[in-house]
Amino acid sequence: MRRRGEETGREGASERLPRRSVFLNLFLSMVVFGVLIGLIFPPFAEIVLDVDEALSAYFFAMCVAAGAIVGLFNFLLFRLVVSRAIDRVAGAMRGMLASMESAERMDDGASLKLPISTRDAIGRIERSFNEMADAVARRVNLEWSTRSLLSLLSTSVELPDVAGRILRGLVDASGAMAGLIYCDTGEGFDRVADTGVDITEHVPERLSARLGPVTGAMQSGQITALTPGEGGLQWIRHSTPLGRFQPGSIVLVPLTAKGQAAGIAILACDARTLTAGQRQLLEAMRTQVAPHLQNAVLHGKIRDLAAIDDLTRILNRRFGVRRLNEEFSRSVRHGVPVSAVMFDIDHFKQFNDAQGHDAGDAVLKHVSRLTEKHVRVGDVACRYGGEEFLIIEPGVGMAESARVAERLRSVIQTSPVTWEEKALEVTASFGVATWPLVPASSAEELISAADKALYQAKESGRNRVCVHRGDTIVAGAGVAAEGA
């Protein structure tokens, strides 16, 4: 049954193929034409040439045979001359198909092209084939480039990675020597990637509305080419071993998704104009990469939201501990100190019990704002849990960390919280631990040491700072004074 089905399938396939043959028709036509000439020639010879035996059966047979032979000979000549040229074109087409199926990328269509052998119909066929080979090569390269770039973009959702890969793809597609990408981050079009551009104070971090051509390109969604210095883009420069050069042209490529500009690429090109192939490739790429750029921005926003404590609007415990792990590893590698400060609000439960949980929330928000305002630049504060907070101080020794904690303790004590026209007095207790004075082998052990110092501060009366010195826990006020 299976063989019969296969045979039936082959028969069905053969029935779908055309049964006519141009060469068979040509062969039959020429033979019939030769025979026809052979039949006409004897009467012609009798009438015009006055041949005595022109109408004899023998003469008729000879003429018909000669006509058939001439027809066959003409067919063979045609097959030899014309068929070879057609077979050459057909072979080139098979080669093109094989290249399309096997090649990831085609440098150009040169390897597939045919030499133009004549100026007639065959030459026109060969010329048309060569044009088709160029078009196929461009299309294959376009699809390969976009597919490769999209595959690369799918491996990351981090904005710097995504924007950098998009920029490199656009630079390669346009033949540019340098470029930048500005992306809509929600607050404006900020610079998120650059390559080859001399980054000086003149290169804006955020695009200005005064850059008319840039704004116009984003609004129109059209690729726009500008002359150097046009539209307020004089700041684009490119350094080479021979000096700094201004580009031959500046190409603005809006990265549009769902009718909106997710960003814009500013490409500095050597050439004054883009080729048709480069423009086609940029057009194909820009709309396909724009959603990846939007997703990267959205991922960053979600990540930031996930890192923020809903109530206090500072980092939550998860991201605070992650940051301390990073800083602890960096300190161990480079041999620089890192301090962890743990503190919590004294008698916090009394605020909730006496004034209600809304009052407790107000106290937490108040202390969080004071903490963010009074920690050093580069320090990181997070809500560790409940009324407990963690401050991470990279590169800070024990004495300086104790001073920071003492200053924040004093600020909290002297800054009451106003709640329903009442001034709620707030104090906090602090514990400080510094690596390498505390011989911790991990960030968790450093937090544990700071927590022990915090416990000592509470046990010794609250509203104070205690410092873990590795072997003992001492009052932070004395340590701060010693380091001053």
Q: How many residues does the chain have?
A: 484
CA angle 266, 138, 284 (to 5 degrees): 40
pLDDT at residue 361 tops 60: yes
Same domain, 338 and 445: yes
Residues 465 and 332 in one domain: yes
Give pLDDT tens digits for 18-76: 555 666 666 777 777 777 877 777 777 767 666 667 677 777 777 778 777 877 777 77
96 in a structural domain: yes
For residue 147, being part of any structural domain is answered with no
DSSP code string of 371-436: HHHHSPTT-EEEEEETTEEEEEEET--HHHHHHHHHHHHHHHHT-PEEETTEEE---EEEEEEEET
Q: For 229-256, what is each residue's pLDDT tens digit?
A: 665 676 676 665 555 667 778 889 999 8
Provide the pLDDT for residue 82: 73
Tokens 């086609």 — which residue?
Answer: 280
> How sure is the predictor about 353, in pLDDT bands with cuts at 50, 70 and 90?
confident
Tally of domains within the chain: 3
Tell me whether residue 153 is in a domain.
no
Instruction: Flag whether pLDDT at 8 surpasses 60.
Output: no
Cα 134 to Cα 140: distance, rounded to the nearest angstrom: 10
Say which range, 89-103, 156-170, 254-268, has the weakest mean pLDDT: 89-103
Q: d(Cα 99, Cα 105) in Å, to the nearest integer?
A: 9
| Residue closest to 428 by CA, chosen among 418, 444, 416, 419 | 416
| 359 in the same domain as 426 | yes
Q: Is 437 in the same domain as 335?
A: yes
- Are residues 336 and 477 both part of a single domain? yes
| Lowest mean per-residue pLDDT among 16-20, 179-183, 379-383 | 16-20
Q: Calculate the average pLDDT of the chain.
A: 80
pLDDT in tens, 158-172: 888 989 999 998 988
103, 134, 149 - which closes a domain = 103
Domain holding 233: CATH number?
A: 3.30.450.40
Domain boundary among 255, 279, 306: 306
- Residues 373 and 464 placed together within one structural domain of the fold: yes
Domain around 430: 317-483
- Among 284, 306, 328, the domain-final residue is 306
The segment with the largest mean pLDDT, out of 2-16, 147-161, 302-316, 455-469, is 455-469
Q: 280 and 354, same structural domain?
A: no
Which amino acid, residue 97? L
The CATH code of the domain that includes 373 is 3.30.70.270
If asked whether residues 461 and 335 sit together in one domain, one would say yes
Higher-pLDDT residue of 477 and 103 is 477
Residues 436 and 365 in one domain: yes
